[in-house]
Amino acid sequence: MLNPISLAFKNAKKKKRPALLTYTVAGDSSKKQSLEILKAISNYADILEVGVPHNTPVADGGQIQTSAYRAIKNGIKMNDIFKIVSDFKKSKNSKPVIFMGYYNMIFQYGENNFLAKCKKSGVNGLIVVDLPWPENKNFSKKCKKNSINFIQLLSPTTSNKRLKSITKDSHDMIYYISMLSTTGGKLKVSPKNILANYNKIKKISPKKNCVIGFGITEKTISNFKNTDGLVVGSQICKEITRSLNNRQNPVINVSKIVSKLRKKIS
Amino acid sequence: MKLKKGIPLIDQGDKLGFWGGKFGGNFVPETLKKPIEDLEIQFNKLKNDKNFIKERNKYFKNWIGTPTRFIKLKNLTKHVGGAQIWSKVVSDANGGAHKIYNATVHCLLAKRSGKKVIIGDTGAGYAGKMLSMAAKKFGLKCKIFMGAKDIRRQQPNVKAMKKNGADVIPVYSGSQTLVDAVSECMRYWVANCDTTAMCVGSTVGPAIFVRICGWSTSQISRELKVQLINEFGKVPKKLKLYNCVGGGSSSFGFWNEFMDYDKKQVEFIGVEAGGPSKSKKHAAPLTYGSKIGILHGAAQYVNQNSDGQIEETESISAGLDYPGISPLHCFLKDVKRARYTAVSDEEALKAYQIVTKYENLRPSLEPSHAFSVAIKEAKKFSKNTIVIINSCGDAYKDRGILEKKLGKKYVKSN
């Protein structure tokens, strides 16, 4: 049986489009609202990345930082985040969930406890921004034992030698960072260039689902239709901030954006 | 976990950059793996390269001004009674603090690797000021990330950075202090590591930065060892080295040459910032038993909540106002080679008043923390005990704070 993440890719492929992955921060702007946002956008997205907010995020740009600080300020705790996921998983149109965060949160929870809790609440995959290969070897093995997809990251600075080793050690999904940037940066590399690197990865590792993230927005997404999957994060976080500032409902506005994103790649 | 003799501590980490198997490492985004590896290869080669060492020594001597003075504080010794109190006046160095050593080495490395821009973080503003000086000297463009709160409280250094042509980029996130400045600097490096070199301002960050900084500031103890032998004919039988500890760069540099001595002969005392006496917040993770966590790419004892969110710190001294601590110091604490304690803002201010009353020396608020403990303990020691405090920064940058806390006379009379 395919795991839920691979199944989501397979279903998107059947429809001849990339899978759409969204990123929102757990607890932004409140526990209740972030759950509502997940429920609303899962009508259009295939896989939901749930950001675990951390207050010293070294790879996140302004938009995601704002969301993370807002969530922390509103009191979000690790156990609340698990609860959000398990509540979401009970909803009728739930989708696979990937946690994205920083290693200290896992380290403090205890790796084994963390994974047990992930399994219990229905988390299907993990992206740990600051736990690169080979440092992640042991943890990634533990994930596999618990049927949780550990998602390796690749970037334009990853050497060919590293690329081969990392893809070899990866599970079903890999994440290509499109450019040298924190999250939310403007796409400063041509789509052609990004796709060339993407194809290089696919050539080395054709069976694994490779998604592209960083700099993907409504404006740029249609350039990447022939890929396995695309991640949109900062634009969504920005929309939450904008909605709150204008006293509008973020749930409605965010789901509008995700619906548009989906249309652009369908 | 054991301290090995005959190998510099900066080289005692394992393959993945961990000291004692658990402190340090490289918890960094994938994008930074390559630039970090490049820097490792470059540094490992150059640190044993005679020409590079010659070049470093030339700039240390002619530009930074080595050696800095080693002086006896006669009046203070008399006032305190007990041990002989001496000071290594590292604030004699060009720019007024020890941060110049690391900044110079990073600029030399950046120049050799063909980088045109160098970026750095700063708390008290010294790391930033020195990096801006060195960048100017070596023809590199310079950007300094500094918390907005620190920009307000360390104006003299901000002015100096700007005068040297550096861009000072205010950081408004989080507590607006050093911790946020380091995060923002790392983020900038993530986005620009192909053209830009990064200098981490202390013995913190991914392992290579800990090593480069420790290697650079070790100049302090190399000089001190020679000065001790000149003064006493040998390394004294009872030597106590007091140093403030924020990130830990000056203390590590002050101790490194004496690492292999028995601690009964050469004792290391690190003094952390305890914060205002009425506040629960502090910047003393070693003294107050903080748990191990990951901050800025390295595992270390760090102030954090049970979830792993980094906690805000508070200290009168911007240079010590950091929730974490160098992996080197975590290691030295656990192997019991060094002893760590903390003093409050008020105690540091009091020590500043005492030192400036008796001596023609003006330690900044950071070394004033070390003076506070040294003065308290020196009373109890015998006359043949040599107490040395590293006066690693000059109080000029603290004028505003000192005037506010102690009144004008403490600024004017000095």
Inter-chain Cβ pairs, chain A and chain B, closer than 8 A: 110
Q: pLDDT by residue (tens digit) across B192-249?
A: 999 999 999 999 999 999 999 999 999 999 999 999 999 999 999 999 999 999 999 9
Instruction: For chain B, say whether A213 makes contact (Cβ under 8 Å).
Output: no
Q: pLDDT by residue (tens digit) across A141-167?
A: 999 999 999 999 999 999 999 999 999
Mean pLDDT of chain B: 96
**Is-cis flag, bond preceding B67, omega within 30?**
yes
Please give the C-alpha separations between residue B192 and each of A58, A157, A195, A258, B369, in angstroms, as whole numbers: 14, 11, 21, 30, 37
Q: Give the minimum alpha-carbon distance from B192 to chain A in angstroms, rounded to a whole number.
A: 6
Mean local confidence (pLDDT), B393-412? 87
Token pair of B379 as six digits:
């009373």
Asked if B294 lies within 8 A of A61 by C-beta distance, the reply is no
pTM listed for this prediction: 0.97
CB < 8 Å to A170, chain B: none
CB B105 within 8 A of CB B56: yes
How many Å apart are CA B136 and CA B230, to the nearest integer? Answer: 36
DSSP state string for B77-125: HHHH-SSEEEEEEGGGSTTSBTHHHHHHHHHHHHHHTT--EEEEEESSS
How many Å apart are CA B384 and CA B363, to the nearest integer? Answer: 25
Residues of A with active-site annotation = 49, 60
Write the class of the CATH domain A4-265.
alpha beta
- Determine the topology of domain B65-96+219-412 in CATH: Rossmann fold (3.40.50)
Instruction: For chain B, say whether A59 makes contact (Cβ under 8 Å).
Output: yes
Q: Is the pLDDT of residue A101 over 70?
A: yes
Same fold, B27-59+98-214 and B65-96+219-412: yes
Query: For chain B, which residues make up each domain, given as ranges?
Result: 27-59+98-214, 65-96+219-412
pLDDT of residue B408: 81
CB B370 within 8 A of CB B340: no
Residue B165 CB neighbours (<10 A): 12
Mean local confidence (pLDDT), A4-25? 97
Nearest to B165 by CA among B186, B201, B192, B139: B139
Please give the C-alpha separations between residue B345 and each of A216, B303, B359, in angstroms, as whole numbers: 48, 18, 21
Mean local confidence (pLDDT), A247-253? 98
Specify the long-range contacts of residues A155-159, CB closer than 8 Å, at least 24 apart: A155/A180, A155/B29, A155/B30, A155/B31, A156/A180, A156/A189, A156/A197, A156/B31, A157/B30, A157/B31, A157/B32, A157/B33, A157/B34, A157/B35, A157/B193, A157/B194, A158/B30, A158/B33, A158/B34, A159/B34
* Burial annotation A93-114 (CB, 10 A radius, 16+ → b, else e): ebbbbbbbbbbbbbbbbeeeeb
Token pair of B68 as six digits:
């800095």
- The DSSP secondary-structure symbol of B283 reads B
Phi first, then psi: give them for residue B271, nearest 5 degrees.
-115, 120
Asked if B294 lies within 8 A of A103 by C-beta distance, the reply is yes
User: Within chain A, what is the greatest distance between any pair of CA atoms?
Assistant: 50
In chain B, % of residues over pLDDT 90: 95
Residue B200 CB neighbours (<10 A): 28
CB A197 within 8 A of CB A190: no
Asked if A181 lies within 8 A of B191 by C-beta distance, the reply is yes
pLDDT of residue A237: 96
CB B190 within 8 A of CB A182: yes
User: Within chain B, what is the greatest distance between any pair of CA atoms?
Assistant: 57
How many Å apart are CA B283 and CA B273, to the nearest integer? Answer: 5
Mean pLDDT of chain A: 97
Q: Please enumerate in sequence order all residues whose Cβ is within 8 A of that of B200, keeping only pairs 6 or more positions apart, or say none.
A: B120, B121, B182, B185, B206, B209, B213, B296
Q: pLDDT by residue (tens digit) across B121-176?
A: 998 899 999 999 999 999 999 999 999 999 998 999 999 999 999 999 999 988 88
Considering only CA atoms, give the Rg of chain B: 20
- Determine the topology of domain B27-59+98-214 in CATH: Rossmann fold (3.40.50)
CB B111 within 8 A of CB B141: no
In chain B, % of residues over pLDDT 70: 99
CB < 8 Å to B27, chain A: 103, 130-131, 135
Token pair of A233 as six digits:
């994060």
Label the pairing between strands B84-89 and B69-72.
Answer: antiparallel
CB B216 within 8 A of CB B104: yes
Tell me which of A25, A54, A56 to substitute to probe the interface with B (most B C-beta atoms closer than 10 Å).
Answer: A56
Query: For chain A, which residues make up each domain, given as ranges?
Result: 4-265
ipTM: 0.96
How many Å apart are CA A97 and CA B173, to the nearest integer? Answer: 29
